[in-house]
Amino acid sequence: MATITRLRKSRRMSQIVRHGSTIHLAGQIADDCSQAIEGQSQEVFGNIDALLAEIGLTKSSIVFAQMWLSDLADFAGMNSAWEAWVDPEDPPGRATCQVGLARAGARIEILITAAAEG
């Protein structure tokens, strides 16, 4: 049985969960929800970069990204920020849908699954 490691734990959740070689990041949202979609997206991508770096990975390790937008009208703006950030040599699988987000003003939340060696 693979070991489960949880990092950046709180009573509610762990920001990083590793099970074997699979890495799950908790859903990431921007701290500054007053920004337009491009700014919120860039902040979320920075959060993802920081969490992956904490465990020695980069965005090229991302296997799948699940994006939730509070309004699909933000799809083009999010895609613009995504295309500037994503590793063009190793783009992950991805899905995007519209949902009601828990934090007022949040326009995007992203859940990441990544792969690590061993």
**pLDDT digit string, tens, across residues 37-61:** 999 999 999 999 999 999 999 999 9
**For the chain, domain boundaries:** 4-115
Q: What is the mean pLDDT of residues 87-114?
A: 96
List C-alpha distances in Å: 104 to 18, 66, 93, 96, 107.
30, 20, 28, 20, 9
For domain 4-115, the CATH superfamily is: RutC-like (3.30.1330.40)
Res 117: pLDDT: 78
Tell me the per-residue pLDDT of 64-95, one tens digit each, with 9 for 90 and over.
999 999 999 999 999 999 999 999 999 999 99
Mean model confidence pLDDT for the chain: 95
On whether the CB atoms of residues 75 and 107 are closer than 8 A, the answer is: no
CB count within 10 Å of CB 89 equals 6
118 pLDDT above the threshold of 70: no
On whether the CB atoms of residues 42 and 81 are closer than 8 A, the answer is: yes
